[in-house]
Structure 1
Amino acid sequence: MKVSIVVGDLSSSGAGRWGGAVRPFLLAQALKKINCEIEIVGFTQATDETLTLSEDIPIVSIIKETYYPQFFKSAQQLLQQITGNIIYAYKLKPTSFGLSLFKRWQTHRPVILDIDDWELSWYGGEQYQYKPSLKQLGRDLLKPDGSLRQPDYPLYLKWIERLVSQADCITLHTEFLKQRFGGIYLPNGKDTTLFDPQRYDPEASRLQYGLKDYRILMFPGAPRPYKGLEDVLIALEQLNQKDIKLVIVGGSPYDEYDEQLMQRWGQWIIKLPKTPAIMMPEVVAAAHVVVVPQRDVPAAQAQFPLKLTDGMAMAKPILATQVGDIPEILGETGYLVKSGSPEQIAQTLARIFDHFEEAQAKGWKARQRCLENYSIDAMAVILQEVIDKLH
């Protein structure tokens, strides 16, 4: 059985930025576990380096023209590269799910839709409306870079939500998304062999990355306002213990938000450069605590934070907020605080460091929970059932 995973954005600012660490690559690894042949087909920018994952998971990159009508040429090239018996569209977007449905119309091959974000949440969710004046409509249609010439423009995201029922099967990774779109719960799995704390020495990692003199709170993700890092930094101001630092790995590929954080709270922040996915366990090994301080907004409610299972797999104490599926994922194996509460974060950090052996014991329970529920093997079991239903 060959599965084509169709990705609308494989660029260095999209899924390609994180190498094998994000959802489409996790799907590929899990499908390999059940003996599927895999190909990943997606769009990149002309300036991107060639993306490789492993020899047994080929990646076919199509350079994407940014605007209609030129985009149709890119789309045709991508459609020609989809050769699987099953088409697996990653994200509810015209550039992935829309093209996958078109390929099904051509070939009658089944389409699975994987939803890992509520795409419209970035544009106001249910409140989003496109109501241009006649003059603005003309600009959006006729200007070479007009809004309506963008393949994944929010209006088109709103329209494609109406086609969700056309998928032969839907997979998703949060209760929020399941309530909205239906489908089969498929959590993000971690490669728990790679992310195995017994393979790494925390002290050596701290020495290697210049962190040996500090107690490290680690955020191994891309900073964005809804991810709550400001609350952690306010908490550090309240604690005022100079040896506790927030380590941000890689920075933001989207905007200058992490630079804004540095300007205001630079004394509490250490930035590490972008790190290949295969090196991330060594980086996370340096953490004393992994922080996942999500704000309680739709964008966060719809997400399954990958940094959560980074910390769980590496048996780290985890401090997270009670947002979305985080309480269910962590169970009793982490420290949960109310969203948007620097005071609770400060109090909980103090408790963690005052009783650090107890916190480490929680971390090992988190790893066991990750092995049982949030591993690549756990994903593979569910995907076997999904594939079987299509035959």
Structure 2
Amino acid sequence: MATTLPKKNTQPIGAGTIGMAFFALLGLILVVYRWTVGLGATTALTDARGWGIWISFDVLCGIALAAGAFSIAGIVYVLHLKEFYPILRPTVLTGFLGYALAAFAIMVDLGFPQRIYYMIFNWNVHSPLFEVGWCVMIYATVLALEISPIVFERFNMKAPLKIIRSITIPLVILGIVLSTMHQSSLGTLFVLMPHRVHPLWYSGILPILFFVSAIAAGLGMVIVESTLTGFGLNHKTDTKLLGKVAKIIPFVLGLYLVLKLGDLFISGDGAYIFSSGNLSFLFWAEVLINIIIPMVLLSIPSVRRKPMQMFAAALLVVVGLLMNRFNISLVAFSAGAYMPSWLELFVTIGMIAIGALVFTLAARYLAVFSHTTEEKTKSSISDGSLKEAVSSNPSNK
């Protein structure tokens, strides 16, 4: 895939970018304030409710939605389906930002963030959080290396660019292994708390359910992100290519539905789906929004050919994933009443703004999308040589 540097951007910074910068700065100021005065004075967390929106949204949801990075990277480099290369860079960048912000959210949520390094030197190999922490830390590094060529190309740094290209496939394989481990281990955290999680969401196979749902939501996020950036950053969206991504999602959702409902009835908890009041309603809303409706819609070829219909169906998958993680960790989690404080909400908004701002600036000044506009892209892909296509960047010669 030809990778050319973007033309010099002379357009003024828009109001949207300024707005993102404002909320990002506000979020950082509030984080400093939270670190200064402590959790008790800034959050609605208690001894009974130790995890709030920062863990549920920024970590559980953020990491799951970033799963598109290892999925698309695996499709391109391991399965050699190089037609998906045009969406690889923005997807990996989104994944890196998701993991970086999740790690930052953990730092914000820790009572003593200055002790985060204890995990590196004091190993508790029996704790799922130990495995999650190490995998997230290493995988964030892997993603940083995978996306680093956009920086090396920008500054014509030929030596490090050559090194990264030589180890790309091992990095991708390592990333797939790490993602599989920690996506599933996040589910393991709740397997250890059967007395806290409602039977409609508790399962001995939560690690598998977390992993499969993350793949579906990650692919859905690829479509959502590509569509939104197409409108917001004024680049052409390849509807046909996104349609091929969308075609995979119903199979993953079908597997997830079979596992979820099958385990529920095999475990003897099937009766709860009609007898749990508001939780039954939330369960069915999640199943319909996250699984059944998008599975049906994305199975229809005409939907996959229409950008906005495909976007809407993919958005349902993403929203359904958010519902699932919130239901498991907050709504159906028995730990006392909880309503996040205004500071918790604005810190979360600030983190979203940071991610959106960095992505926008990267797309503005680095070759995140510009390589997809080259006419020789298709011929390079048809020749089956991703390496030759990438190395065709004039700045690398």
TM interval, short-chain normalised: under 0.3
Please give the TM-score of this superposition, normalised by the length of structure 1: 0.27
Give the number of the structure with larger relative contact order, counting CA–CA contacts within 8 Å between residues 6 or more apart.
2
Where is the helix percentage greater, Structure 1 or Structure 2?
2
TM-score by length of 2: 0.26
